[in-house]
Amino acid sequence: MELYSLNIQEARTAIDKGEITPAELTEAIFKRIETVEDIIQSFVTINKENALLQAKAAGNNRHPLSGIPLAIKDNMCTKGVRTTCSSKILENFVPPYEGTATSKLKEQGYILIGKTNLDEFAMGSSTENSAFVTTRNPWDITRVPGGSSGGSAAAVAADMCLAALGSDTGGSIRQPASFCGVVGLKPTYGRVSRYGLVAFASSLDQIGPITKTVKDSAILLNVISGHDACDSTSADLPVPDFTSVLGQDIKGMRLGVPKEYFIAGMDKEVEESVKQAISKLESLGAIPVEISLPHTEYAVAAYYILATSEASSNLARYDGVKYGLRVEGKDLIDMYMNTREAGFGAEVKRRIILGTYALSSGYYDAYYKKAQQVRTLIMNDFGKAFEKVDAIVTPTAPNPAFKVGEKADDPLQMYLADIFTISVNLAGAPGISIPCGFTSQNLPMGLQIIGKHFDEETILKISYAYEQSTDWHKRKPKL
Ligand code: GLN
C-alpha cells in the first residue's frame, strides 16, 4: 500500500511503531499532490516548504494527530498562511492569528499540507463559485466535487491529505463528502468553536472533519471540540471520547425515516442505495420507524433568507479599509463601491443583495421574521421526532455529483439540491454523511445520519456499525 493512501488511524499506528516517519509520510503526500493536483485542483495554497520542515522536526509525542498531514478549508484563519475564502477580496490576506480549531490541531503537532478550495465565502454547492480554480471530482473529473468544502472532500478522496477540516452552513461538509465518497461530519452547533472561521451565516456555520473513515472522524472531532472563551456560542459542555462508542452494538436503536425525504424527482439509484442501507442497519438490529418532519418543504426558502441576511451583515466588513483588496475611487463611497464590485464574485453579490432586501425596513417582517418563525417550526419537528427515535436516516443529497457547469447558471436549481442537509443546520443538530454505495456510473452516494443535539456519539456509533459491515469506504477513485 502507498503511504499516501493511509488514514489517520493507520498512520498513527505505523508512526508509533517506528515503521514510518512523519517526514516520509509528508513527502509521500506531496509526491501524490504533484501527480494528481493538476487534474483535481483541490488547493488554493500549498504549504509545502513549511510542511516538510515541520514534518522533519516532528517528535513523536504520540498525540493522535502528531505528524499527521491534514488539509484545511481556506476559510479558516491560519496564522502566517494566506487565507482567501476563494475570494479576490481576500486574495492576499495573511491572518495575524490562528483560529481555535486549527490551534488545537497545532498543539498536537499536525502537518498543514495546504488550504483547500471552496465556493467563495462558502456560498455554493459545487465549488464552482471559487474565484481561483474549479475543483474536480476524483471519481469523474467532468463532475463537481460538491461544495462548498469541495477542495477538502476532493483532497481526501484523492489521497492528497489524510483528512481535512471543512465548514458546514447548509450542507457544505456532508454534501461534498457524499459526492466524493468520504465521511463528513457536521457537529452540533456550539460543539466546535467558530473563532477564526470566516463568518458566512453565524447562526448556522460549524467546523467539522472530512475523513476516509468513521474512526478518523471521531479522532478529529475529539481534538477540535470544546468550549472556547473566544466564541460565545461554543457550548460549555464536557467533550466525551467520541472513539469510545465505536464498535458498540446498535441493537434496538430506533432510526427515524422521514417520509418527506423520499421525494419525487430524487435520483432512483440514490433512493435505492439509501433504502438498502436502512435494511442493512435493520439487519444489524436497528429498528426503522417512519416519522414525519412536516415543515421540510419550507427549509430551503427559510435557509436562503436567513443565510443571506446574515451574510449581508457579515460581509459588510470587506470595505477596502480594514483588510483585503482596496480599489481607490474619487471619494470614500466610491472606493467602497469599487472595492466590493471588483472583490466579490456574482454569487456573493447576489446573496448580499438578497439578504439586504430581506432585512430592509418594510420587508423584514415578511421575510426575515417569517423565516425565523419557520426555523422554530423546523426545530420543533426534530424535537418531536427525537422523542420517538435515537437518530434519523436520510439521503445526504437527492443526486450524485453533477457535471461541471450543469447548474452553474441556475442558482435556484443549485439551492433546491440542498433540501436534505439544510434543515439540520436550521435545527442546530449534528449530522454525518457516510458512503452508502455507487451508481451504475461509479459515482459515490451518501447516507446522512442526524442526531440529537450534542449526541454525536450516537451517529458515530451507527455510522461505524454500518461502515464495518460494508466496504464502500475501501474503494478508491482511479486517478
Ligand atoms: N449550499 C449551501 C449554500 O450555498 C450551503 C453552503 C455551506 O454549507 N457553506 O449556502
CATH superfamily, with its number, for domain 3-253: Amidase signature (AS) domain (3.90.1300.10)
pLDDT of residue 265: 83
What's the whole-model pTM score?
Answer: 0.98
CA 292 to chain centroid, in Å, comes to 26
- Tell me the average pLDDT across 239-254: 98
pLDDT of residue 190: 98
Residue 371 has pLDDT above 80, yes or no: yes
- Find the farthest-apart pair of alpha carbons in the chain and give their distance in angstroms, rounded: 70
Q: Which of these is catalytic: 73, 115, 186, 452? A: 73
Which of 76, 120, 172, 420 to mutate for ligand 1's pocket (most ligand atoms within 8 Å of CB)? 172
- Tell me the average pLDDT across 269-281: 98
Q: Which atom of ligand 1 is nearest to the CA of 171?
A: 8
User: Three-state DSSP class for 444?
Assistant: strand
**Residue 445: strand pairing partners:** 437
Ligand 1 center–CA 91 separation, angstroms: 21
Percent of the residues in the chain that have a pLDDT greater than 70, as a whole number: 100
CA 463 to chain centroid, in Å, comes to 17
pLDDT of residue 323: 86
Nearest Cα residue to 339 out of 352, 320, 353? 320
Residue 60 has pLDDT above 80, yes or no: no
pLDDT of residue 257: 98
pLDDT of residue 264: 81
Any catalytic annotation for residue 148? yes
Angle between helix 22-40 and 48-57 (nearest 10): 160
pLDDT of residue 188: 98
- Tell me the average pLDDT across 375-382: 98
Residue 58 has pLDDT above 90, yes or no: no
With a CB cutoff of 8 Å and minimum separation 6, the contacts of 268 are none
Q: What is the pLDDT of residues 417-448, one digit of tens each?
A: 999 999 999 999 999 999 999 999 999 999 99
pLDDT of residue 372: 98
Q: What is the pLDDT of residues 69-106, one digit of tens each?
A: 999 999 999 999 999 999 999 999 999 999 999 999 99
Q: What is the pLDDT of residues 334-346, one digit of tens each?
A: 999 999 999 999 9
Ligand 1 in reach of 172 Cβ (< 6 A): yes
Q: How would residue 29 be classed by pLDDT, with cut points 50, 70 and 90?
A: very high
Pairing of strands 69-73, 431-438: unpaired
Summary mean pLDDT of the chain: 97
Residue 198 has pLDDT above 80, yes or no: yes
Ligand 1 center–CA 176 separation, angstroms: 11
Q: Which of these is catalytic: 103, 126, 148, 193? A: 148
Cα–Cα distances in Å, from 84 out to 64, 121, 129, 252, 446?
A: 29, 9, 13, 47, 29
Residue 59 has pLDDT above 80, yes or no: no
Joined together, the cell numbers standing for residue 328 give: 481607490
Residue 385 has pLDDT above 90, yes or no: yes
What residue ranges do the domains of the chain occupy? 3-253
d(CA 112, CA 70): 5
- Tell me the average pLDDT across 129-154: 98
pLDDT of residue 122: 98
Any catalytic annotation for residue 440? no
The beta strand positions in 286-405, using DSSP E, are: 287-291, 391-395
Nearest Cα residue to 415 out of 314, 342, 315, 306? 306
Residue 235 has pLDDT above 90, yes or no: yes
Rg of the chain, C-alpha, whole Å: 21
Angle between helix 419-427 and 299-314 (nearest 10): 60
Q: What is the pLDDT of residues 288-325, one digit of tens each?
A: 999 999 999 999 999 999 999 999 999 999 999 988 99
Ligand 1 center–CA 415 separation, angstroms: 8
Percent of the residues in the chain that have a pLDDT greater than 90, as a whole number: 96
d(CA 224, CA 177): 19
Any catalytic annotation for residue 203? no
377: burial class by Cβ within 10 Å (0-12, 13-18, 19+)? middle
